[in-house]
Structure 1
Amino acid sequence: MRFIVALLVASLVGACATTTQSGAVGVERRQLLLVSRQDAERSAAAFYAKEKEKYAARGALNPDPAQTARVRRIARDLIAQTGVFRPDAPHWKWEVNVLKSDELNAYCAAGGKIAVYSGLIERLKLTDDELAAVMGHEIAHALREHSREAMSELVAQQLGIAVLATALNMGSLTQDLLDKAATLAIQLPNSREKEREADRIGLELTARAGFDPRAAVSVWKKMMAAGGSQPPAFLSTHPNPADRMQDIEAHLPRVLPLYEEARHAQR
């Protein structure tokens, strides 16, 4: 039993690393990464493919060419800046799609699988800067591999049982668990720390791409106003907007010079 406990502790310690460079916003937290990047991306891609198939079946996958072109243009500019945080990211197999839905929501699954719900754009009447702020935040989750980290946290909850099962020759973790973890990683709220990281990295991506990072604050104000008595889906997976707006405003001085530099280069 002592050997098994020691093995469990060693596995957890050895699986801690950081997935990104710190950037101007200084995100440096070490993360628990028990699940391989390949497994995380495979499960996320399967989830994303099912979502596309579901929306395509009812004619709700990219039905508005102009809207889709706008979202993809903004995504292209943001993706071009991802190398600041990890050199491999610009070369990922990125996908960007708009899902016709009244939901106020968006996400970027592991490996760069982006989905933006049309309701987010239309109901909030987002400017390009505001849409870039939302997408930058979601891309930041993928850069930090927060879904992989969430999957690892779920696996860690099962690891003690899995180690015992392995020791007793009872089998190991299954693909079903990984697929479940991938779905939960997208649908369930992130921790406050992960959301702060995505906010800060998203600010820097937005600024470097030439979009006004101050729009991140106006997005949250619009989102909160739109919620009424029933908070939008986006707020259910992105909690604590008031505290986060304060943190965003505190980090704006770090990224506004990057925005001015990008705007000057674009002239």
Structure 2
Amino acid sequence: MSTRFRFAALVPVLLLTACQPVNTTSGGAVGVQRQQYMFSMLSSQQVDQMYSQSYQKTVGEAKTAGKLDNDSADGKRVKAIAARLIPQTGAFRQDAPGWDWQVNLVKSDELNANCGPGGKIIFYSGLIDKLHLSDDEIAAVMGHEIAHALREHGREQMSRAYAVQMGESLGGALLGLGQGGMQMADQVVQYSLTLPNSRQNETEADLIGLELAARAGYNPNAALTLWQKMGQAGGGEAPPEILSTHPADSTRMANLQAAIPKVMPLYEQAKGRN
């Protein structure tokens, strides 16, 4: 076995030994049940606190620059949609509805939104304006981002990074890798471990987000039109799926189409209540 493959094989072993298996969420109707591994010395509370500081800094800078847009019509839309989605998080995590949720809209041309650890949501107006998003499509975006927080994907990726760092230090010494060999090993780790798991996280967020939106009474078919718009906005310049942290458009659409029938009954039930 070559040195680079021995190194790549070492990292998952370190991941298993340095991290603890956890189940951050229940599977839901979409059946996301992958067991995750978290670095034992990195707690959810620590990650939440670290992200909260960064989030407050971002929001504070936007406010100082006059770009915080919560009182606009779109700002009120975003907050209203979040208010319907957040109670549905309990279907995946009992503790999640009680998180310190925060929602802010920032004026920016950026096509982006995220929900960081602990329920800190930020939306950028360019995403709504440039893609002409409906409420259902905003819910699809927000559900996807909330799902990342529910699954603690940020903490998981940090845990994975710790394992990689440990692998580089220990593996380099054990396998006798020089500087060139370490760079080669970094590429092996990236393509065989980091990128596939990032794509897996994106797929999980797609599915859980789909269910959250449906439970809140938003049409799950909007996820399809959303990603069609996102694909068009990207101009077809996405890298091949094997080298991307996001699923290929065709893969993403196929996964969503397969999951929509599972959540449509939830949508019909919720639609009758709203």
Task: Pick one of 64, 67, 74 that aligns with 1:67.
Answer: 74
Q: Name the CA distance, whole Å, in 2 between partners of 1:51 and 1:238.
A: 25
Check whether the contact 1:32–1:149 (CA below 8 A) recurs between aligned residues: yes
Q: CA offset at residue 160 of structure 1?
A: 5.3
Unaligned segments of structure 1, at least 5 residues: 165-187
Kindly indicate whether residue 79 of structure 2 is the aligned counterpart of residue 83 of structure 1. Answer: no
Check whether the contact 1:40–1:151 (CA below 8 A) recurs between aligned residues: no
Q: CA offset at residue 265 of structure 1?
A: 2.2
Deviations 1:135-160 (A, max 9, x none): 00000000000011011111122235
Give the equivalent residue in structure 2 for 1:143.
Answer: 150
Q: Name the CA distance, whole Å, in 2 between partners of 1:116 and 1:189.
A: 26
Q: Name the CA distance, whole Å, in 2 between partners of 1:264 and 1:152.
A: 42
Give the equivalent residue in structure 2 for 1:250.
Answer: 258
Q: Name the CA distance, whole Å, in 2 between partners of 1:109 and 1:137.
A: 12
Q: TM-score, normalised by structure 1?
A: 0.80
Task: Pick one of 22, 25, 34 that aligns with 1:29.
Answer: 34
Unaligned segments of structure 2, at least 5 residues: 1-10, 172-194, 239-243
Give the equivalent residue in structure 2 for 1:49.
Answer: 56
Kindly indicate whether residue 259 of structure 2 is the aligned counterpart of residue 259 of structure 1. Answer: no
> Aligned partner of 2:262: which letter?
R
Q: CA offset at residue 52 of structure 1?
A: 1.1
Give the equivalent residue in structure 2 for 1:172.
Answer: none
Q: TM-score, normalised by structure 2?
A: 0.78
Give the equivalent residue in structure 1 for 2:231.
Answer: 224
Check whether the contact 1:130–1:216 (CA below 8 A) recurs between aligned residues: yes
- Aligned residue runs from structure 1 range 119-158, under 5 A: 119-158=126-165
Give the equivalent residue in structure 2 for 1:169.
Answer: none
Identity rate, percent: 53
> Aligned partner of 1:259: which letter?
Y
1:162–1:40 Cα change, 3 Å: farther
Deviations 1:168-209 (A, max 9, x none): xxxxxxxxxxxxxxxxxxxx9971111111011001100000
1:92–1:163 Cα change, 3 Å: farther
> Aligned partner of 1:221: which letter?
Q
Q: CA offset at residue 10 of structure 1?
A: 6.6
After superposition, the CA RMSD in angstroms is 2.5
1:27–1:158 Cα change, 3 Å: same
> Aligned partner of 1:210: which letter?
G
> Aligned partner of 2:258: which letter?
A
- Aligned residue runs from structure 1 range 201-212, under 5 A: 201-212=208-219
Q: Name the CA distance, whole Å, in 1 between partners of 2:261 and 2:14.
A: 43
Check whether the contact 2:147–2:209 (CA below 8 A) recurs between aligned residues: yes
